[in-house]
Chains A and B, each alone.
Chain A
Amino acid sequence: MLTKLAGGRIYDPAQGRDGEVGDLFVRDGRIVADPGTEPDETIDLSGKVVMAGAIDIHSHIAGGKVNLARLLMAEEHRAEPVTAEGLCRCGGGVATPSTHVTGCRYAQMGYTAAFEPAMLASNARHAHLEMADIPLIDTGGYLVLGNDDLFLELLASGAGEAAIADYVGWMLTATRSLAVKSVNPGGINAFKYNQRKLDVDAVGPFHAITPRRILAALAAAVRRLGVPHPLHLHGFNLGVPGNVEATLDSIAAVDGLPLHLTHVQFHAYGTEGDRRFSSAATQIAEMVNRTPTLSIDVGQIMFGQTVTASADTMAQMGNAGHAHPKKWAVMDIECDAGCGVVPFRYRDKAFVNALQWAIGLELFLLVTDPWRIFLTTDHPNGAPFTSYPELIRLLMDRDYRLAKLAELHPDVPAHCILPSLAREYTLGEIATMTRAAPARSLGLKDRGHLGPGAAADVVVYTDRPDRRAMFETPDLVFKDGRLIVRDGVMVALAAGRTHVVEPGHDPAIEAWIDRRFEARMGQKLAHFRISADEIRDGDGLVRHDCRPGAF
């Protein structure tokens, strides 16, 4: 079956197309070059905007902490049940939607992939079981390393770069992960020894290693293994005024190796001004602009009730006093990492929250290369992913942005440079930061673009001046060539896939890991390892190439 998507304005930055009118051809779920034959079906897209399916590079959609957040957000689920309707199964939630609701809401916004950025090795099987229950979108997980006692012990033992890389490669493969994440490297582990703060160059408890060493070792391992996505770093001192210094330190720590700084809005705070809380977006953006090996996602906050869920127990314990409603959970997990869940309400009339909002937007507007900055709210930590269309409008419409700014705490404009930033994102730049760039960063060769061979994840929009309305409700969404959404209504269900890497490594490391599992973990290594047939019942695993030394 050959389908022709005819005459749309195609925004496909990976192919250098910026709104030129053209045709797309879809056969067997893939984009193909014009075969020169009569299509079986032609869909007229004249005047419509056409993009690849959007990709969320950082969204907490599955796993233990997400389920804990759902449990803790009992009020939200009581208030916002979702009734089964047509193809959509029941569920509920806004900040912590249930699995089916997650898939449907993403798909209805034109997203065809979202990646869980904090999968703990010990919880990976759970995360995969849960991700398999999210329909319509592709998923994958980033493995959290750098607080696991095994890694810290290996590093402290003086193991060389090769052995470290072997460990990382083995763990990525065993847990069916796509990338390596590190969360407050060393800090989560230190919290288990009652340290409430750990600076980049402070020697941690027990293993006696500095976060700087952990960071450098992980970044080097990722490069050595050739994992496409750089080390995905949740940095130090999240949410603490003045943490910009630690953020810049962590960039320096990897010494020029590729690095992705995630939800950097939460790590871009200074201590200037009468309130000792200021925007350091300019410093961060300048660093990003002059460092081509660096990418970021923003973690924009939007106002309203949400819940923060993070592996960063050290930071979450520190933030627990801000919980709204007043309840929170912290868990130490399995000599691996942890999780902290703190409900939070961002208030537009609160100076700190309003400035956080402005800092996020400043980062978006000051970083010049849309290939190295990704659109995220760190769902649900800054806001639910369903606020993306509103965020896109803020980026594309300066008048709207200024009108919103005027509604906030009155001291905010004087404490930031947002009023002076005239930039408005173009459709091409939005397509880059939500499609082409995340796909390239993750190494998903056949996603995020519309060239021949790509998966036919295609989204069709009506070009409306109200960009929120435009991006909220695409006209058509195709997943692997199949029409799944028409005018916001699900018309077909499709299963997603799970994207992984299996980097080459010396299997001899397994004996070392096995001895420690036997001695400590109360679990056999053979049972820890997730076999390929466990992922989506053996149907839907997509392996991506690693290219050692290819940066």
Chain B
Amino acid sequence: MATHCDVVCPFCGLGCDDLTVEEDAGRLAVRSTDCPVARERFGHTPPAEPPRVGGRPASFDDAVRAAAEILWTSRAPLVAGLGTDVAGVRAALALAERVGAVVDHERSEGLYRNLAVFQRSGWIATTFAELRNRCDLLLVVGPDPAALHPRFYERWVVPPPALQAPALREVVFLCGEPLETTRAALGEVPFTVIPGDATQIGAVAAALSTALTDPTGAAPGIAGLAERLRAAHYAVVAWAAAGFPGAHADLAVERLVRLVQDVNRQTRCAGLPLAGYDNVVGANQVCTWQLGVPLRTSLAGGAPRHDPHRFAWERFQHAADAVLWISAFRPEMPAFATGKAVVALAQPGTAFAAEPAVVIPVGTPGIDHAAHVFRGDSIVALRTGHLIDRGLPDVAAVLSAITAALPQEASC
């Protein structure tokens, strides 16, 4: 039995680094928080399994060779999932470049609702510690982000803003109800709920923008909220776009971004687009610095071509003839069409809808090996610890081995 203190949690993107995790015979249990994400993910550490090729146990080298063969002979490979640390993403991009693959992260849809707006118009944004220490009015828009990021309020909203005078904060929920756990977490922090239809976030944000300068004609709740935004010293508008219902959620994000800009004409206000599950923000950062363009990029033809629509993995999987899927954070994997050659780098114990052509079990960043991951506010990168040894390779090592097993000549 061993106790690990101040453990970094790499899973949801909040960057909690204060966990107490107990280890007993290779099993881990989180003792310091009720966070369901942390408890579930740290709690899932089944023993290592051997790689499999065609459903049969295989040596690591045979599995690597089989994976290389599939990717090398593929005419339209997809390297996705990308649920891995910075080193794993680097290795995935190097491999994708060699075989001319499309790259994407499993959770990029929520990120892209934000990035699409950023690329069109830019934004005014902030980070977690600014929220915690300077924000006097937090406006949470849409479905409660705590559903995806359970300790959001506890860590970043409940502590009073030490760098604001007076050190007081209020929270407003707009077009979304706070979860019961959120109501409990907020404790003494005053909050109000302005109900609304989450499919109408864009229209409500636009009405708020209008009401900033002309409250006549605005609904009373909206006019009052506009006044509070104007009176705030440092308002933060937070949203988790992954939870926005309906098509074209990026248009709702665009209205929120515009609202933040409008409030800034008079006082300070900043957006907090929440994302970051399974290091999606880190994957996007590495992709952007290495390729110049973000995720959802094709490396077929030798140069990066970014197309957030065409190269989203959920769409491109239909065109792909081979898939390398990387999921080191969760024992889950999407089902792919039968007949597709799938190579899975997955946690042991992952349930597959259909047995992939090659399965190589990998360790989890932050559990089996030290790793760099990004927090969801995109600025802070963290280095996780290394808690147990199950004898599982890390993603970077597996991908480097696959790349090394490719024929040496150029692929095109």
Contacts and interface: CB of A to CB of B under 8 A. Distances in A.
Given A77-B292, A334-B128, A334-B379, A90 B6 contact: no
B115 A99 contact: no
A81 B18 CA distance: 42
A126 B374 contact: yes
A129 interface: yes
A64 interface: yes
A332 B122 contact: no
A329 interface: yes
A89 interface: yes
Find the residue from A120, A317, A334 having the highest chain B CB count within 10 A.
A334
A81 B381 CA distance: 28
B122 A333 contact: no
B115 A527 contact: no
Contact of A534 (B119, B120, B383): B383
A101 to B, nearest CB: 7
A317 to B, nearest CB: 8
Interface stretch (A31-39, A241-249, A255-263, A515-523): A515-523
Interface residues of B, number: 61
Nearest to B117: A327
A62 B290 CA distance: 11
B6 A329 contact: no
Contacts of B119: 71-72, 74
SS of B interface (majority): mixed
Given A70-B288, A206-B163, A334-B130, A522 B120 contact: no
B122 A328 contact: yes
Interface in A192-225: 192-194, 206
A403 interface: no
A473 interface: no
SS of A interface (majority): mixed
A78 interface: yes
Interface in A86-102: 89-93, 96-101
A424 interface: no
B268 interface: yes
A387 interface: no
A522 B9 CA distance: 13
Interface in B82-134: 86, 90, 97, 115, 118-130, 132-134
B27 interface: no
Interface stretch (B299-307, B309-317, B357-365): B299-307
Contact of B129 (A96, A193, A335): A335
A221 to B, nearest CB: 22
A67 B283 CA distance: 12
B130 A520 contact: no
Contacts of B128: 334, 522
A437 B123 CA distance: 39
B292 to A, nearest CB: 4
A511 interface: no
Contacts of A332: 125-127, 130, 134, 270
A524 interface: yes
B267 interface: yes
Interface in A49-66: 62, 64, 66
B275 interface: no
A85 B132 CA distance: 47
Interface in A124-151: 125-126, 129-130, 133, 149
Given A72-B118, A520-B132, A193 B268 contact: yes
Given A81-B304, A191-B268, 8 more contacts: A71-B119, A74-B306, A98-B292, A99-B289, A334-B127, A334-B129, A520-B132, A523-B15
20 contacts: A71-B118, A72-B118, A82-B292, A91-B292, A98-B292, A122-B127, A125-B383, A126-B380, A129-B372, A149-B133, A193-B268, A317-B264, A327-B121, A328-B122, A331-B127, A332-B130, A334-B380, A523-B380, A524-B18, A527-B382
